[in-house]
Amino acid sequence: LGIGLVIALLGALWSASGGVSNLINAVNVCYDEEETRGFLKLRGLALMLTIGAIVFMALAVGLVAVAPAVLEALPLGIVGTILLQVGRWVLLVVLVMAGLAVVYRLAPDRDAPKFRWASVGAVVTTVIWVIASVGFSLYVDNFGSYGKTYGALAGVIVLLLWLFISAYIVLLGAEINAEAEQQTARDTTRGEDRPMGQRDAVKADSLPG
């Protein structure tokens, strides 16, 4: 049972990293980059991002589901409880933004952009993702008929649709970052400033027109 569980988990991780690998390729398209990294390097990056996403989900579940019970058990008073309740949501939003910024820096096959140039799309994506997630949840609760249509598979279908929407929003953030970089002649890549044409990044090496 132990070995079987390990094999199943590794298989699930490998399959999930395949989806992340497709996301990496899509981010490359947003940045007009061609993928030149080898299979092992690309899959290694996908595995790393997948594990990071799993860690983030664990933290998110802790902040959303576990933290309220812990806060109720602590003698914090009304003010302290309110501050911590607000703080956990702020922390969750910050974690989402930071995670997206990491994806936008590492995913495209190019010299990584400075953090502030990856943060623009991360902020916009986080705002849109929160609004879309709330809207999708309200739609499923009030108008969706997935339970009648798919029966026991309704939960899986809803999850896949939410992931599909989330992936498109992530790519929208990548497009925003890419276009923002192309609007300036300044070097947006990490390290010392280099002249245009020597930055190993299509968007940083070109201007519109």
Question: 185 phi and psi, to 5 degrees?
Answer: -90, -10
CA dihedral over 158, 164, 170, 173, signed as positive or negative:
negative
pLDDT of residue 21 exceeding 90, the answer is yes
Average the pLDDT over 175-179 and give the result. 95
Residue 4 CA to residue 174 CA, distance in Å, equals 38
Extract the tokens encoding 150. 């798919």
Are the beta carbons of 46 and 21 closer than 8 angstroms?
yes
pLDDT-derived band at 1 (thresholds 50, 70, 90) equals low
Task: Give the chain's mean pLDDT.
Answer: 88
**Residue 87: its pLDDT value, please?**
85
Pair 201, 110: CB distance under 8 Å: yes
Q: What is the pLDDT of residue 142?
A: 78
At 113 the three-state DSSP class reads strand
107-143 confidence digits (pLDDT tens): 999 999 999 999 999 999 999 998 998 898 888 877 7
Helices (H), the chain: 2-30, 39-61, 67-73, 77-106, 115-142, 146-150, 154-182
- Answer whether 26's CB lies under 8 Å from 168's CB: no
At residue 155, the pLDDT reads 81
The more confidently predicted of residues 73 and 201 is: 201
Neighbouring C-beta atoms of residue 175, cutoff 10 Å: 14
Retrieve residue 173's tokens.
């953030």
Q: How far is the C-alpha of 208 from the C-alpha of 122, rounded, in Å? A: 22
Quote the pLDDT of residue 152.
76
**Can you tell me the mean pLDDT for 143-156?**
75
pLDDT value at position 43? 94
Give the Cα separation of 45 and 194 in Å (integer): 26
74 vs 206 pLDDT, higher one: 206
**pLDDT tens per residue, range 59-116:** 888 887 777 777 777 777 788 778 888 888 888 899 999 999 999 999 999 999 999 9
What is the share, in percent, of the chain residues with pLDDT greater than 70?
99
Overall average pLDDT of the 43-68 stretch: 88
What's the CA gap between 69 and 178, in Å, rounded?
42
Q: What is the pLDDT of residues 186-198, one digit of tens each?
A: 999 998 899 998 9
pLDDT tens-digit series, residues 157-166: 888 888 899 9
Place of tokens 């939960």: 155
Tell me what the mean pLDDT of segment 46-61 comes to. 91
115-118 contacts, C-beta under 8 A, 24 or more apart: 117/177, 117/180, 117/181, 117/188, 118/177
Question: Where residue 209 falls among pLDDT bands split at 50, 70, 90?
Answer: low
